[in-house]
Amino acid sequence: METGMSPGMSWLATSWREVLSLLQFRFMPEKKREALAFAIRGWVASMLAMYLAFYLELDEPYWAPLTVWIVLQPTPGMSISKAFYRIVGTIIGSFMGVVLICFFVQTPELFIAALALWVGACTMVSNLLRNFRAYGAVMAGFTAAIVASGAIERPNEIIQIALARCAATLIGIACATIITAIFAKHEARTRVRMLLAKAIGDTIRRSALPVTATTAERLALGKPLIDELIALDAEIDYAAAESAGVRIHEDCARSLVAHLFQAIAARRSLEEELPRGGTSADPEVAQLLDSTLQFFRNAPELMAADQWLTLQQQMEELRRKIEKAMPEERVSDFRPAASSRMVLDRLDELLEHLARAISDWQLLLGGWKWSPSLSLNFHRDRRRAVINGLRAAIAVGVAGAFWIASAWSMGPSLLIWVSVGASFFASAPQPDRLGNLFLNLVMVACVAAFIVNYFVLPGTSAFPILAFAYGLVLVPATVLLYNARNPIPIMAFCANFIALSQPVNAMTYDTAAFLNNAMALYLGCGAGVLSYSLFMPADPRVARRYVVYRIRLGLERISRLEPIPSFDVWQTRMFDRINRLHDPANPSGWPTDEWFNGGLAALGLGTEVLRLRHLLTEARLASRTAGLIRTVLQSFREITARPDVARKSVRHALTELERNVPEGREEKLSWFRVRGILEKMESFFADHPTFLTGRTEMI
Amino acid sequence: MKEINLFGVYFSPFVAVLALALIIFFALRVWLDRIEVQKWFWHRSLFDAAVFVIILSVIGLMF
């Protein structure tokens, strides 16, 4: 190739490119390169934190590098998000540690009881929160244990100990965050945009499925789509922490996801209605349905060509046509007319939510602009939260009792590690499995720390050599354990390796102390992990029964609460519940798909309850129709205690409604709507007779 | 500058300076986000870090 360069210059440029590609580890596969970069970032941040902690002469400086490995995440957004909640957790935990020592230093029994209650309460709160907020709550629990246990034998120094631990933690967080923010790739904005565009495309593809699509075809598209939308909440959280471009559009991105959830709910409702009522009675409705589905089939092409405006115009055009259609005035029979009304309403809703999602998408691509936000809501498993809290409290209490009875010198350390073991994995789906992996890696870390402490460190005198020695262990271990989705193995090994080797300014090489410390760590974590199997182990059947109970409770609340809860609150929370019902490790007698379908149908039922409430307050209704709606809503208010009453009440209301057809045009339109809603409710009870009863044989 | 007495516990005045700088920085960051300041800077995180150091230093010098 003719470049116009002299041979010497060309050789220099080629060599420079080769050196650069070597420096960027281009010879390695992409995955390994990512792992190596992560390992080097972690090592540099932890050594920087250790150097600063030494320089500031902090008490027990190893807490700073240890913290680095606890907060280290592969992307800047995740790192910043985790760091923020860890700072909050550490400050609250340190304060509580001081309070515990101030009040209970003279009475160890009360101290243990209070610490157990605090760790239990924090574990419970962490189970009710999501993403790294949950992590912040766990941190508040065991930081109190770290501070209080460190000061129990020298209570006069509690403030200094709390400040030193706090300072070491903050140094660790600052180093991990700064190194990750500067040296890791900033891809969150691109990634979140890509995921949102994919979610819009997938929702449109899901909406374009023909009416005759089989359940298997629907589920093949629907299930991954729901998982994708639920995971987007965390992605938006992390991207907002990393990128200013996402931060200003955070609400908008959540609103987009909520509209997609609502669009799926509308499409699902349409699918339930079509086989029941059909559209054959009204050719206009059938044609509108066909042209809407045709539009969805063509939409991906327009999206690929970035023709969002054309998409929106076509949607508006379709909505105008739907608004003008009046099947009630042409068809004399009630049943097909009510069904046609239902189909048109759901089509309109589907188009409306997709149009709103697309306008949110366009806002996302532009600069900052105020936009109203729709929130995403998630299921809170209160039952599991209480059990996990109770379990952590009991584990800490038992460990404390063992310490008092045995007077073991490493008792305070044992307390710290039991708190970590019993609370850290509580919110994971299979805490015992994760805990066992953690324990195995702790054992490996013990061996590695022993070798480094007794065979490598005695020969070192300067910090760079110490840092190099640590790098020899930390970097290869991190590369081996690297998994972008699950950093717990890395944390288990690296944080415990530092906790065990305990680098301090003047190293002491006391083998008995090392083994005592290692035993306290292993026994503490082991006792915490063992508690998951010993005390009320997670039972997927009970968990599922509880989700169904919460669905009933949700139905009761949406039929009662004032002001009327919004559709997005109910629907986004229900999608999370459906995700939980759809458990791949399904031990029940029912196939997983039936759980999925039952959950989706219950979502539709709740949406119809909300529609009835809106009709009652906003539409012009004949007095008899309004009375029947009130009776049905009343029966839903009792659905938690008496699930069968709602079914009977809906049947009764349908029979009564057919006997009382109103005269006026507006009243008649509302009547058709109410009839369609009640028919849908009735079909829910017919298709899923045992879903809401929560009887054990069905679960 | 005198040490800050919080319920009998003495804190370095730097803690107060740090807290004040953080409050000002977070308020300023909302505005910087909205005008999309990152369009004019190569590395937004470095820019944020530099702005924070400037605010911290100015407050430190003022008191």
pLDDT digits (tens, 9 = 90+) for A592-640: 677 788 888 899 999 999 999 999 998 888 888 899 999 999 999 988 8
Chain B residues touching residue A367 (CB < 8 angstroms)? 34, 36
Q: Do B34 and A243 touch (CB under 8 A)?
A: no
Q: Is A375 left (phi over 0), alpha (psi -120 to 50) or beta?
A: beta
Q: Do A368 and B38 touch (CB under 8 A)?
A: no
Residues A76, A184 contacting (CB under 8 angstroms): yes
Q: Tell me what pLDDT residue A57 has.
A: 87
Which residue does chain B place closest to A370, by CA atoms?
B34
Q: How many domains does chain B have?
A: 1
Q: Is the dihedral of CA A34, A40, A43, A46 positive or negative?
A: negative
> Would you tell me how many other CB atoms lie within 10 Å of the CB of residue A333?
9
Chain A residues touching residue B35 (CB < 8 angstroms)? 368
Residue in A136, A143, A151, A149 with CA at minimum distance from that of residue A168: A143
Residues A195-245 pLDDT 10s: 999 999 999 999 988 877 887 888 888 888 988 998 898 899 999 988 888
The band of A2, judged by pLDDT with boundaries at 50, 70 and 90, is very low
Question: Where in the sequence is the domain holding B48, given as residue range(s)?
Answer: 4-62
Q: Do B44 and A159 touch (CB under 8 A)?
A: no
Q: What are phi and psi of A30, to 5 degrees?
A: -50, -45
Partner residue opposite B46 with nearest CB, options A159, A182, A245: A182
Q: Tell me what pLDDT residue A90 has.
A: 92
ipTM: 0.79
Which residue does chain A place closest to B46, by CA atoms?
A182
* A183, A243, A370: best to mutate for the B interface, most B CBs within 10 A: A243
pLDDT at A351 over 90: yes
Percentage of chain A modeled with pLDDT above 70: 93
Which residue does chain A place closest to B29, by CA atoms?
A244
Chain B residues touching residue A245 (CB < 8 angstroms)? 36, 38
Is B43 in CB contact (< 8 Å) with chain A? yes
pLDDT at A45 over 50: yes
| Average pLDDT estimate for A336-361 | 88
Residues A359-418 pLDDT 10s: 999 888 877 777 766 678 888 889 989 999 999 999 999 999 999 999 888 888 899 999
Rounded distance between C-alpha atoms, residue A200 and residue A354, angstroms = 8
A689 vs A291, which has greater pLDDT? Answer: A291
Q: Nearest-CA distance from B45 to chain A in Å?
A: 6
Is B44 in CB contact (< 8 Å) with chain A? yes
Residues A165-188 pLDDT 10s: 888 999 999 999 989 988 888 888
Average pLDDT taken over every residue of chain A = 86
Partner residue opposite B44 with nearest CB, options A178, A244, A368: A244
Q: Do A186 and B49 touch (CB under 8 A)?
A: no
Q: Do B45 and A182 touch (CB under 8 A)?
A: yes
Is A507 in CB contact (< 8 Å) with chain B? no
Strands (E), A134-290: none
Residue type, A481: L
Helix (H) or strand (E) holding B9, with range, is strand B9-11
Residues 6+ apart with CB under 8 A from A629: A612, A615, A616, A621, A653, A674
Rounded distance between C-alpha atoms, residue A402 and residue A399, angstroms = 5
Residues A188-198 pLDDT 10s: 889 999 999 99
Partner residue opposite B45 with nearest CB, options A181, A248, A367: A181
Residues A82, A132 contacting (CB under 8 angstroms): yes
Q: Is B44 left (phi over 0), alpha (psi -120 to 50) or beta?
A: alpha
Q: Which of residues 186-205 of A touch B (CB under 8 A)?
A: 186
Which three-class secondary structure state does DSSP give residue B4? strand
Residues 6+ apart with CB under 8 A from A529: A421, A422, A425, A431, A432, A435, A436, A438, A439
Q: Nearest-CA distance from A248 to chain B in Å?
A: 6
Q: Which of residues 163-182 of A touch B (CB under 8 A)?
A: 178, 181-182
Q: What is the rounded radius of gyration, in angstroms, for the C-alpha atoms of chain A? A: 30
CATH 1.20.58 location in chain A = 188-242+250-365
DSSP per residue, A577-616: HHHHHS-SS--SSS-HHHHHHHHHHHHHHHHHHHHHHHHH
Between CA A27 and CA A36, with CA A32 as vertex, the angle to 5 degrees is 95
The band of A150, judged by pLDDT with boundaries at 50, 70 and 90, is confident
Q: What are phi and psi of B11, to 5 degrees?
A: -115, 150
Q: Tell me what pLDDT residue A152 has.
A: 84
DSSP B39: G
Rounded distance between C-alpha atoms, residue A141 and residue A116, angstroms = 9
Rounded distance between C-alpha atoms, residue A560 and residue A572, angstroms = 19
Rounded distance between C-alpha atoms, residue A487 and residue A482, angstroms = 7
Residue environment code for A22-36, b if the CB has 16+ CB neighbours within 10 A, otherwise e: eeeeeeeeeeeebbb
Rounded distance between C-alpha atoms, residue A558 and residue A377, angstroms = 14
pLDDT at A39 over 90: yes
SS (H, E, C) A308-323: HHHHHHHHHHHHHHHH
Chain B residues touching residue A371 (CB < 8 angstroms)? none
Rounded distance between C-alpha atoms, residue A611 and residue A608, angstroms = 5
Chain A residues touching residue B32 (CB < 8 angstroms)? 244
DSSP B6: E
Rounded distance between C-alpha atoms, residue A197 and residue A301, angstroms = 13
Q: Is the dihedral of CA A526, A532, A535, A537 positive or negative?
A: negative
Q: Is the dihedral of CA A672, A675, A681, A682 positive or negative?
A: negative
Residues 6+ apart with CB under 8 A from A190: none
Residue type, A175: C
Q: Tell me what pLDDT residue A204 has.
A: 93
A535 exposure class (CB count in 10 Å sphere: 0-12, 13-18, 19+): middle
Residue environment code for A151-170, b if the CB has 16+ CB neighbours within 10 A, otherwise e: bbeeeeebbebbbbbbbbbb
The band of A476, judged by pLDDT with boundaries at 50, 70 and 90, is very high
Q: Tell me what pLDDT residue A277 has.
A: 63
Report CA A548 to chain centroid distance, whole Å: 20
Give the pairing type, strands B4-6 and B9-11. Answer: antiparallel
Between CA A667 and CA A673, with CA A671 as vertex, the angle to 5 degrees is 120
Residues A294-320 pLDDT 10s: 999 999 888 888 888 898 999 999 999
| Average pLDDT estimate for A568-573 | 89
Partner residue opposite B45 with nearest CB, options A76, A159, A247: A76
Residue in A646, A647, A548 with CA at minimum distance from that of residue A602: A548
Residue in A441, A494, A659, A690 with CA at minimum distance from that of residue A588: A690
Q: Tell me what pLDDT residue A556 has.
A: 92
Q: Tell me what pLDDT residue A435 has.
A: 87
Omega before A76 cis (within 30°)?
Answer: no
Q: Nearest-CA distance from A188 to chain B in Å?
A: 13
Residue in A523, A520, A480, A487 with CA at minimum distance from that of residue A502: A520
Q: Tell me what pLDDT residue A620 has.
A: 84
Is B36 in CB contact (< 8 Å) with chain A? yes
Structure tokens at A93: 């935990």
Chain A residues touching residue B45 (CB < 8 angstroms)? 76, 181-182, 186
Strands (E), B17-63: none
The partner residues of B6 in beta bridges, in order of sequence, read: B9
Q: Tell me what pLDDT residue B17 has.
A: 93
> Would you tell me how many other CB atoms lie within 10 Å of the CB of residue A655?
11
Q: Nearest-CA distance from B61 to chain A in Å?
A: 23
pLDDT at A426 over 90: no
A40, A134, A334, B45 from A78: Cα distances, Å? 17, 14, 56, 14
Rounded distance between C-alpha atoms, residue A449 and residue A455, angstroms = 10
Rounded distance between C-alpha atoms, residue A278 and residue A270, angstroms = 10
CATH 1.20.58 fits A188-242+250-365, yes or no: yes
A97, A372, A683, B6 from A420: Cα distances, Å? 15, 41, 49, 30
Q: Tell me what pLDDT residue A591 has.
A: 64
Q: Tell me what pLDDT residue A583 has.
A: 67
Rounded distance between C-alpha atoms, residue A648 and residue A130, angstroms = 39
DSSP A57: T
Chain B residues touching residue A244 (CB < 8 angstroms)? 29, 32-33, 36-38, 44
Rounded distance between C-alpha atoms, residue A355 and residue A350, angstroms = 9
Task: Give every residue of chain B whose pLDDT is below 70, as ranges.
Answer: 1
| Average pLDDT estimate for A247-262 | 90
Chain A residues touching residue B56 (CB < 8 angstroms)? none
Residue environment code for A87-119, b if the CB has 16+ CB neighbours within 10 A, otherwise e: bebbbbbbbbbbbbbeebbeeeeebbbbbbebb
Is A367 in CB contact (< 8 Å) with chain B? yes
Is B9 in CB contact (< 8 Å) with chain A? yes
Rounded distance between C-alpha atoms, residue A486 and residue A492, angstroms = 11
pLDDT at A525 over 60: yes
Chain B residues touching residue A368 (CB < 8 angstroms)? 33-36
Structure tokens at A686: 């017919």
Q: Do A244 and B45 touch (CB under 8 A)?
A: no
Chain B residues touching residue A248 (CB < 8 angstroms)? 33-34, 36
Partner residue opposite B38 with nearest CB, options A181, A182, A244: A244
* A156, A250, A368: best to mutate for the B interface, most B CBs within 10 A: A368
